[in-house]
Amino acid sequence: GIQVEQSPPDLILQEGANSTLRCNFSDSVNNLQWFHQNPWGQLINLFYIPSGTKQNGRLSATTVATERYSLLYISSSQTTDSGVYFCAVGAYTGTASKLTFGTGTRLQVTL
């Protein structure tokens, strides 16, 4: 099956710093999503981005499908950004798209 690797596995930032999280995947995909799991365990969808670039406030993401990687940028980090960031990839079969998740990047933002 498809392999998903995320880096770095752990990241500690001071509030206000910027960061880049990377996701590499081993096969062609037409579905790529980024999620944030907050310290209470809730998974929030950040981006649906199988290709191209999107921005949402302080967060942006870029996927280069031909080179099989995606990047998540966090600017001016805040303590509320803490948690685990997951990249998940997949391919549509009919109407469903099964996602394979990476093991995540654990981010801690300190004051």
Partner 1 sequence: NAGVTQTPKFQVLKTGQSMTLQCAQDMNHNSMYWYRQDPGMGLRLIYYSASEGTTDKGEVPNGYNVSRLNKREFSLRLESAAPSQTSVYFCASTTRGRGYGYTFGSGTRLTVV
Calculate ∠ Cα 65-81-64, nearest 5°: 5
Sheet holding 19-25, edge to edge: 4-7, 19-25, 69-74, 59-64, 52-56
CA atoms within 13 A on the CB side of 97: 14
For residues 88 and 100, is the Cβ–Cβ distance under 8 A? yes
Query: Which residues inside 43-102 make contact with partner 1, applying CB under 8 A?
Result: 43-45, 47-48, 50, 86, 88, 92-102
Q: Is 1 in the site for partner 1 (CB under 8 A)?
A: yes
Provide the minimum distance between the beta carbon of 89 and partner 1 in the complex, in angstroms, as a whole number.
Answer: 12
Is residue 109 at the binding interface for partner 1, with CB under 8 A as the rule?
Answer: no
Closest distance to partner 1 from the beta carbon of 94 (Å): 6
Binding interface with partner 1 (CB under 8 A): 1, 4, 30-31, 33, 35, 41-45, 47-48, 50, 86, 88, 92-104
